[in-house]
């Protein structure tokens, strides 16, 4: 049982369609290489033509066009797929998957070359139009009851938090306490004298 995840990119709309293909639909991709062209009739997109631009195997290792075969290989590379940033003139040895699709390939990247009659991406305008119509009605019912309570609580917390600042309160409290303490000893000796 062969299963592939397809990432179909459309350069015109700049959107990507994600799709899974199994069994007979997936058999179309076996033994194809990066750069090969394939028709979309075999996996549910009649009239479309796609180009295989890349992919990755079951371990997540990216496929590279210049690595021949299906196996993973350690190659020296300077730039391109498999390396992000590199200094000028430095070669790095990286493990990369071959350019041929086989049973252990997990993901295949496709690019649209020719567009068919049916749209590739489903339009969600009717669903979006219904959803906002329901949300304001529900929000109107909930906001008068819930909104003032929610707004009042944060304001109270903010107001309480301002006077309880660490710097201001100890200074203010310390001064009155000192005055009270000074006043108390004076009163006590006065009481003893009487």
Who contacts 138 (Cβ-Cβ below 8 Å, separation ≥6)?
none
Q: What pLDDT sits at residue 141?
A: 58
Specify the residue for token string 């350690």. Answer: 74
pLDDT at position 194: 44
Q: Is 105 helix (H, G, I), strand (E, B) or coil?
A: strand
Alpha-carbon distance of 111 to 12, in angstroms, equals: 10
Model pLDDT for residues 90-117, shown as the tens digit of each residue: 999 999 999 999 999 999 999 999 888 8
- The span from the CA of 32 to the CA of 34, in Å, is 7
Backbone angles phi, psi at 149, to 5 degrees: -65, -45
Say what the pLDDT of residue 23 is. Answer: 87
- pLDDT of 184 reads 52
Residues 6+ apart with CB under 8 A from 54: 34, 62, 63, 65, 81, 108, 109
Residue 139 has pLDDT above 70, yes or no: no
Which range is least confidently modeled, 19-33, 75-89, 131-145? 131-145
Rounded Cα–Cα distance for residues 77 and 93 (Å): 6
pLDDT value of position 43:
87
Residue range 11-63, pLDDT digits in tens: 988 999 999 999 888 899 999 999 999 998 888 888 899 999 999 999 999 99
Spatial separation of the C-alpha atoms in residues 110 and 113, rounded to whole Å: 9
User: How is residue 152 annotated by DSSP?
Assistant: H
- Integer Cα distance of 120 and 36 in angstroms: 20
pLDDT level of residue 84 (50, 70, 90 thresholds): confident
């Amino acid at each position: 049982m062969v299963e592939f995840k397809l990432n179909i990119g459309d350069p015109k709309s700049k959107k990507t369609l994600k799709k899974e293909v199994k069994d007979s639909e997936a058999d179309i991709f076996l033994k194809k290489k990066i750069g090969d062209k394939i028709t979309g009739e075999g996996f549910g997109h009649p009239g479309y033509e796609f180009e295989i631009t890349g992919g990755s195997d079951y371990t997540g290792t990216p496929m590279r066009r210049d690595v021949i075969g299906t196996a993973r290989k350690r190659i020296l590379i300077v730039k391109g797929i498999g390396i992000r940033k590199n200094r000028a003139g430095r070669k790095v040895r990286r493990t990369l998957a071959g350019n041929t699709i086989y049973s252990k390939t997990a993901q295949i990247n496709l690019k649209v070359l020719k567009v068919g009659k049916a749209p590739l991406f489903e339009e969600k305008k009717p669903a979006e139009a219904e959803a906002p119509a329901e949300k304001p009605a529900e929000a109107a019912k909930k906001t008068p009851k819930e909104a003032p309570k929610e707004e009042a609580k944060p304001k109270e917390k903010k107001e309480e938090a301002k006077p309880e600042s660490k710097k201001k309160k100890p200074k203010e409290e310390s001064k009155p306490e000192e005055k009270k303490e000074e006043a108390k000893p004076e009163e006590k000796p006065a009481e003893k004298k009487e």
